[in-house]
Chains A and B, each alone.
Chain A
């Protein structure tokens, strides 16, 4: 089990979400975050004085998937989030020890997404 954390531009979210849905990965969380990297700040001018804003808004996606599915998720994110300019964001992959579905108490990889093997199934259909 792995957790994928991606920091992306707002406009990249929708195509990523659509593709993940079609591949059988409906379960994810997002957060609106502010952070800084190499992207330049924005200067706000307020009545003659300036205020430079280095922390720029991004969307953070968190998605836990079976280890076998990690590459599919990463490929999808890279495909849609890349514009080639500074500020496209980053993706991190973290290990996850265990997962439980609260409703039933089940645990394991099959609790993570639509159902186990959804990705390879979607690829077969396509």
Chain B
């Protein structure tokens, strides 16, 4: 009904909305309150050398971590069938972008603003006063706040990318979009605030997580578990007798490329978490990372060979990732000699966990094992191996170090508490979010769409067209059928044709 009174009301509302949007835009357009470290830059046009050097390292490391998006993309593409590869490209691009906007708007403030339970300063990266005081947990470094923001944002994006490893080949695209908003705006910022943003687990409990075995990898894997429980297995993964079947991915070379890109990105992930080049810690952390990953590959190949009598390419990669995840928390807290132990143990745990999980849960890339189980192990390993000098240097946890130095289970207890708290929080929020999505929008494509592949059914285009469209049609000379008893109806959209 369009009464005469209705139009003015609508336009008035429109005007009001437009004013509000303009006001919001104007507010954001004003320069943010000048920060202490950038004040000099604004005034003199030069940054102090130490600020410039540290900022440069943080940005370089952040770019390495950003490149891990390519790693996740190729890892997932390699482990998917050829009909479900293009969708991963779209997902990575969209999720990475949503994460940036959400983390800028609210995520960073929740994660790194002051506060025990949740940060409250730095929305839209403005009005935060002196960043060295406001974001005191990153105060060890004098890098500019913009470089620190970028570094923390790419971490958030990595954590989000981890979630989807369990969901390949059957999830609706819109689920990525909805959960990305919730995850990058609330779930990840709040949980990571507790662990490495100066929140209660770090400041009051004394949990140690240098670069995020728990805060990035376990959070991501926990989200992945929540969605997997609601989503269910791919069609054909479990036979009528309930036994798991292999659904081989279409390209081990692309998988390998993904692994190597992730490995490269991890140098930024761990060594960059110093946020600081001048304290000289970063080369040592990079070395710790390298030794752990190497031990992980060797241990995983040995374990897979022991269990299956095959030199399993996928397990070699999963072992590398598992070891890198495990060394992430302790990388800034342990001495070199412990790194191969931490990585090697992860390399044994990950294949065994993949074999065990695969019996019940369809996790196509092994994210639950490589990021979840290995993340738990890595976080706990701080409780064993943290050296007193580094605990004191970082200023978190038991200053006497882990079990082997202090003989005390205190640090191990802090770590375990942190894991339980983060897992419960993230699982509860994620499960609620995915449950709501399932009940309204739906999580899964239809059986026919799954059979046809997500590329054609969700995106209307194949990742590898030559594999699915016969050559005569691909070059466009093939006509549709004519002269049959019923004239062929117009072709369907992919959505119609596959449902």
Cross-chain contact B484 with A38 (CB below 8 angstroms): yes
Q: Chain B contacts of A40 at CB under 8 A?
A: 488-489, 491-492, 497
Cross-chain contact B480 with A42 (CB below 8 angstroms): no
Q: Is A29 an interface residue when CB atoms closer than 8 A count as contact?
A: no
In the complex, 29 of the A-B residue pairs with CB atoms within 8 angstroms, ordered by the A residue number, are A36-B480, A36-B481, A40-B489, A41-B497, A42-B456, A42-B494, A42-B497, A42-B498, A43-B460, A43-B491, A43-B493, A43-B497, A44-B456, A44-B462, A44-B465, A44-B494, A45-B461, A46-B461, A46-B465, A51-B469, A51-B474, A52-B480, A52-B491, A53-B491, A54-B478, A54-B479, A54-B481, A54-B488, A57-B468
Q: Quick one: given A11-B451, A40-B497, A43-B491, are A53 and B473 in contact (CB under 8 Å)?
A: yes
Cross-chain contact B486 with A54 (CB below 8 angstroms): no
Q: Quick one: given A34-B470, A57-B468, are A41 and B462 in contact (CB under 8 Å)?
A: no
Nearest A residue to B479 via CB reads: A54
Q: Is A96 an interface residue when CB atoms closer than 8 A count as contact?
A: no
Q: Chain B contacts of A45 at CB under 8 A?
A: 460-461, 494
What is the size category of the interface that chain A forms with chain B? 10 to 19
Q: Chain B contacts of A91 at CB under 8 A?
A: none
Q: Is B45 an interface residue when CB atoms closer than 8 A count as contact?
A: no
Cross-chain contact B491 with A54 (CB below 8 angstroms): yes
Nearest-Cβ distance from residue A93 to partner chain B, whole angstroms: 23
Q: Is B280 an interface residue when CB atoms closer than 8 A count as contact?
A: no
Nearest-Cβ distance from residue B241 to partner chain A, whole angstroms: 12
Q: Which residues of A contact B (CB under 8 A)?
A: 10-11, 34, 36-38, 40-46, 51-55, 57
Q: Which 9 A-B pairs have the closest CB atoms?
A: A41-B491, A45-B460, A52-B491, A42-B497, A54-B480, A43-B491, A34-B470, A55-B470, A40-B492
Nearest A residue to B489 via CB reads: A40
Nearest A residue to B481 via CB reads: A36
Cross-chain contact A54 with B473 (CB below 8 angstroms): yes
Q: Is B483 an interface residue when CB atoms closer than 8 A count as contact?
A: no
Q: Which B residues between 295 and 310 are near A, CB-CB below 8 angstroms? A: none
Nearest-Cβ distance from residue B439 to partner chain A, whole angstroms: 28
Nearest-Cβ distance from residue B469 to partner chain A, whole angstroms: 5
Q: Chain B contacts of A57 at CB under 8 A?
A: 468
Q: What is the size, in residues, of chain B's interface with A at 8 Å between Cβ atoms?
A: 28
Most buried by B among A37, A38, A45, A52: A52
Nearest B residue to A11 via CB reads: B451
Q: Quick one: given A46-B461, A51-B476, A53-B473, are A41 and B492 in contact (CB under 8 Å)?
A: yes
Nearest-Cβ distance from residue A33 to partner chain B, whole angstroms: 10
Nearest A residue to B494 via CB reads: A42
A40 to B488, CA, bound (A): 7
A103 to B469, CA, bound (A): 39
Q: Quick one: given A38-B484, A38-B486, A51-B476, are A10 and B470 in contact (CB under 8 Å)?
A: no
Nearest-Cβ distance from residue A19 to partner chain B, whole angstroms: 13
A53 to B488, CA, bound (A): 13
Cross-chain contact A42 with B491 (CB below 8 angstroms): yes
A101 to B187, CA, bound (A): 66
Q: Which B residues between 313 and 352 are near A, CB-CB below 8 angstroms? A: none
Q: Chain A contacts of B456 at CB under 8 A?
A: 42, 44
Most buried by A among B461, B468, B486, B491: B491
Contact of A44 among B451, B469, B479, B481 (CB under 8 A): B469
Q: Chain B contacts of A37 at CB under 8 A?
A: 481
